[in-house]
Chains A and B, each alone.
Chain A
Amino acid sequence: MELSGAEIVVRCLKDEGVEYIFGYPGGSVLHIYDALFQQDDVRHILVRHEQGATHAADGYARSTGKPGVVLVTSGPGATNAVTGIATAFMDSIPLVVLTGQVPRAVIGSDAFQECDTIGITRPCVKHNFLVSDLSKLAETIKKAFYIATTGRPGPVVVDIPKDITDPKVKIPYEYPKTVEIRSYHPQVKGHHWQIKKAVDLLQGARQPMIYTGGGVILGNASKALIDLTRFLGFPITQTLMGLGSYPATDRQFLGMLGMHGTYEANMGMHQCDVLLAIGARFDDRVTGQLAQFCPDAKIIHIDVDPASISKTVRVDIPIVGDVQTVLEEMMTVLKASDFKASSQDISDWWASIERWRAFDCLGFDRHSPKIKPQRVIEELWEVTGGQAFVTSDVGQHQMWAAQFYKFDEPRRWINSGGLGTMGFGLPAAIGVKLGHPEADVACITGEASIQMCIQELATALQYRTGIKVINLNNGYMGMVRQWQEFSYESRYSESYLETLPDFVRLAEAYGHVGIRVEQPGDVRPALEEAFRLKDRTVFLDILTDPAENVYPMIEAGKGHHEMRMAPGVSTDRELA
């Protein structure tokens, strides 16, 4: 079969099993768009800004486990995609981003809509390719999918000069079944003796903690994690990226840890004697002050990326390998050992944890006449039966969503953890909904974040993705305002948005349903109404208490045991 470069691109996507491609046309990719027009296998989703394309593909990838695919043009098309590529890179999300490039003959001449896409994206991709030869096109695309989805996943950019896709030049096409890259062999199996050593350490633990991150979700190791955690009977805490891989409603779950983690999770970290870290990267928002991190703990760290191990925190037993494979082997070794959860008495440890838990560090004023954002999330959880896919933007609403929506399953909580990209939530929700047409999809956002990619409301209408935008509107860039209150004597420098649009009318102008909610009692009926309108995108503009802060909090330079609690919650008795 002889195909042109443009046809090869589209055919490769089909052969790779790609369902959706998120993109925006332009000069350098017109040949590819023409080839897309002439087939029905791969469905193109037209976004309104290239950043939206990358976030939508990202949301699709996070929620389905399949790679997200993006197609943008050269120059501004590629640079607009960079924020989304960097977002995916920081959270290790598999994306294949196809960017158009000016024809080979004019590369380097500052041609119209030319930019050095390979150079610009190099620091925020797992790898990138410039296709310099038509005969290598199919193989390069295959390599891109292989690299993006194996080992520690990540975005891969394939930059394709326009003349490579020339419809007049045809070559024989065959999609490679496999690909071998001599310099790339991700480790799958963990070192057996390291696993044995880890099991020995776990057996001797008196105050153990399990701490897991996004790697468990990316590695589809949720079941293995649940089996191991239940077998051990140890307390477990998770990072922002890890939520959902262990049921949040389970008694062994202590909630999220870190800057806005729970008191019980952070105190547990501070006082543990053995820490089992799985698919987590000891991020600064998780560890707090490094010098005070888990001062008495021996640390076991399982991760597929050797560079994540001992990067910020030295660990005692590193295990490099695929998380699921390692956890399963660990379980086998544990079962063959004389370990019995019942024989290992950690009841004193659990008693301490229950004492910390009793402080109810996430408590808030349930009798306020104002709408409390925390309560909105609780009601969202109730109305959706805890089964929704929830995306978020970045800020206070993101933390409240993580704290109050109890995720019981992996891939349901979709947010930009590493890069912290405002504008992520809405396009990501569109990608999630396309991947899960029957599911409830909510985007928890704020009036500042939502405006960063609000143009994607048009995309939501075009593809009838019935998502529910929960806008926690407090009139401030809430997290900025909170830091200014705590650290800058309430000098609210530029964190107040004076000229907010009328979101209800804006949603209506985009062809959606808009509902404003101003009273606490109206929240639940509005949520119920929104989810009843199954196929419609509904924008709930919920006016929440502008003074509310996210608690508890570890402020900069503090350790896990030095949390700032909500006013009225004192841990003095405990700390004395």
Chain B
Amino acid sequence: MKRHIISILIENEAGALSRVAGLFSARGYNIETLTVAPTEDASMSRMTLVTSGSDEIVEQITKQLNKLIDVVKLVDLSESPHIERELMMVKVRAMGEMREEITRLCDIFRGNILDVTPTSFVIEVTGEKSKLDAFLRGIADDHIIEVVRSGTTGIPRGERGLHA
């Protein structure tokens, strides 16, 4: 079971997202995260999907995705050098000494504090999934009020790109 980041260029049509989501549920594939947003070309959206499975399953996933008429192109980012990022916002309970400690932790992870109240912070951290996981491990569970994560997105390194 290996983690794969599949980056998909998809027609910007109503229902295109549900075709991808439906494919995964119908065939029992697992989706860890899924993000969709417009691209430099208004007729297409870029979808980044993180899944995991054996080589055979992931091969089937990419073939089945390619079969969808709305899918223009896709690439398995994890097969070559790439950059991946995820954005996370965490609301933490922060009072007394904890305020200092959390600020320090935030600096270590190059996070930003976006909102401050007498009892709480909202912190923004960006990075690979593992970095965000590590940040959360650094804060005691009972201090965490809410965690919001964008899901992973990514781009290949170098000049290679995904175009129609």
Which residues of A are in contact with B by a Cβ distance under 8 Å?
118-119, 122-123, 126-127, 130, 132, 147, 181-184, 305-307, 309-311, 314
Q: Are A183 and B72 in contact (CB under 8 A)?
A: yes
* Interface: B140 (CB within 8 A): no
Chief secondary structure at chain A's binding surface: loop
Closest approach, in angstroms, between the C-beta of A400 and any C-beta of chain B? Answer: 33
Contact A130:B14 (CB < 8 A) given known A182-B164, A310-B59: yes
Please indicate the chain B residues that have their CB under 8 angstroms from the CB of A126 in the complex.
69
B55, chain A: closest CB distance, angstroms: 10
CB of B67 within 8 A of CB of A305, answer yes
Q: In the complex, A481→B54 CA distance in Å?
A: 39
Which of B11, B15, B71, B72 is in CB contact (< 8 Å) with A118? Answer: B15
Give the nearest-CB partner of B72 in chain A.
A183
Q: Please pick, from B63, B72, B73, the residue contacting A307 in the complex, using a CB distance under 8 A.
A: B63
Closest approach, in angstroms, between the C-beta of A143 and any C-beta of chain B?
9
Q: Which of B59, B60, B69 contacts A183 (CB 8 A)?
A: B69
Give complex CA distance A307, B60 in Å.
6
**Does B22 have its Cβ within 8 Å of any Cβ on chain A?**
yes
- In addition to A122-B18, A307-B60, 17 A-B residue pairs with Cβ atoms within 8 Å of each other are A119-B15, A119-B18, A123-B22, A130-B14, A132-B14, A181-B69, A182-B72, A183-B70, A183-B71, A183-B73, A305-B67, A306-B63, A306-B66, A307-B64, A307-B66, A307-B67, A309-B63
How far apart are the CA atoms of A182 and B70 in the complex, in Å?
A: 9
Distance in angstroms between the alpha carbons of A132 and B63 in the assembled complex: 29
Contact B22 A311, beta carbon cutoff 8 Å? no
Task: Check B26 for interface membership: any CB of A closer than 8 A.
Answer: yes
State which of A183, A305, A314 has its C-beta within 8 Å of the C-beta of B11.
Answer: A183
A307: chain B residues at CB < 8 Å are 60, 63-64, 66-67
Please report B residues at the A interface, Cβ cutoff 8 Å.
11, 14-15, 18-19, 22, 26, 56, 59-60, 63-64, 66-67, 69-73, 164
With a cutoff of 8 Å between Cβ atoms, the chain B residues found around residue A147 in the complex are 69
Contact A122 B22 (CB under 8 A): yes
Q: Looking at the complex, which one of B15, B26, B66 makes contact with A130 (CB distance below 8 Å)?
A: B15
Distance of A334 Cα from B22 Cα, bound (Å): 44
A184 x B69 contact (CB < 8 A) = yes
> Is B19 within 8 A of A122, CB to CB?
yes
A127 touches B69 (CB 8 A): yes
Question: Nearest Cβ distance between residue A92 and chain B, in whole angstroms?
Answer: 12
Assembled-state Cα–Cα distance A181/B66 (Å): 14
Measured between alpha carbons, how far is A431 from B56 in the docked complex, in Å? 40
Shortest distance from the beta carbon of B74 to any chain A beta carbon, whole Å: 10
Could you list 7 A-B pairs, sorted by A, with CB under 8 Å? Answer: A122-B15, A122-B19, A123-B26, A132-B14, A307-B66, A309-B63, A314-B56
Top 3 A-B pairs, shortest CB-CB distance? A307-B63, A183-B72, A127-B69
Contacts of A314 in B (CB 8 A): 56
- Nearest B residue (CB) for A126: B69
Residues of A contacting B66 in the complex (Cβ-Cβ under 8 angstroms): 306-307
- Which chain B residues border A127 with CB–CB below 8 Å? 69
Which A residues are CB-close (under 8 A) to B60? 307, 311
Docked CA distance A130–B18 (Å)? 14
Q: Chain B nearest CB: distance from A90 CB in Å?
A: 13
| A130 CA / B14 CA spacing, docked (Å) | 9
